[in-house]
Amino acid sequence: MALFYLIRHGQPDYSGCDERKYKGHGRDLAPLSEKGIEQVIETSKDARLKDAQLIVCSPYTRAMQTASIISKQLSIDIKVEMDLHEWMPDLTFTYDNLDECLELTNDYNKCHGEYPKDEEKRWESLSHLRNRVRAVADKYASYDKVIIVGHGMALKTLTYIEHMTPAEIVECTYELNQPNCIVSFT
């Protein structure tokens, strides 16, 4: 059984993505804002983190930058896990703007994360999201303390979290084969 310190990435800055007219998956290249960097530096001072054995993080820029700041402050190694990325609102990777992304998110919430019978959706289902995030968590279940840097919807599949603010820490005891947690759709 492991103690995970789940940390949502700091506040991102999408202005560079907007200037370049990036859409879909391209928006995941956004770095942290200055405020986001400050949030993460403050989070890295939390005494609970100093005994962690490893930092595991999402491959998205905002999470990797968050993990690198924490790693620098605490001298803890980082392991990037491809399947720890955020929930995918559009499996075609073509949404054009934030409004379209919010529309897809609202549909996901309305359906409680699962496709209605005999229907396909553009978004990733909760069961798929949960399975890929838990497969990552399972790799680290035998550690004592691990920092996991990721994204709100992905981290919510590991323990009940109503809402995570940028750079917030949520403690989570994790073991193999534990029951699925309830997921909030607010």
* 102's tokens: 């919010």
Confidence of residue 186 (pLDDT cuts 50, 70, 90): low
Percent of the chain with pLDDT over 70: 98
Those residues with Cβ within 8 angstroms of residue 81's Cβ, 6 or more apart along the chain or in another chain: 56, 57, 58, 59, 136, 139
What is the chain's mean pLDDT, rounded? Answer: 93
The three-class DSSP label of residue 172 is strand
So what's the pLDDT on residue 139? 97
Does residue 178 register a pLDDT over 90?
no
Confidence of residue 25 (pLDDT cuts 50, 70, 90): confident
Considering the entire predicted model, what is its pTM? 0.92
Q: Model confidence at 184, in pLDDT bands (50, 70, 90)?
A: low
Cα–Cα distance measured from residue 90 to residue 64, given in angstroms and rounded to the nearest whole number: 22
pLDDT of residue 160: 84
| DSSP E strand stretches across the chain | 2-8, 54-57, 78-80, 145-150, 169-174
Distances (CA, A) of 13 to 16, 35, 138, 155: 7, 9, 32, 21
Domains, the chain, ordered by start: 2-174 (3.40.50.1240)
Read off the pLDDT of residues 122-146 as tens digits, 9 standing for 90 and up.
Answer: 999 999 999 999 999 999 999 999 9
Residues in the chain: 186
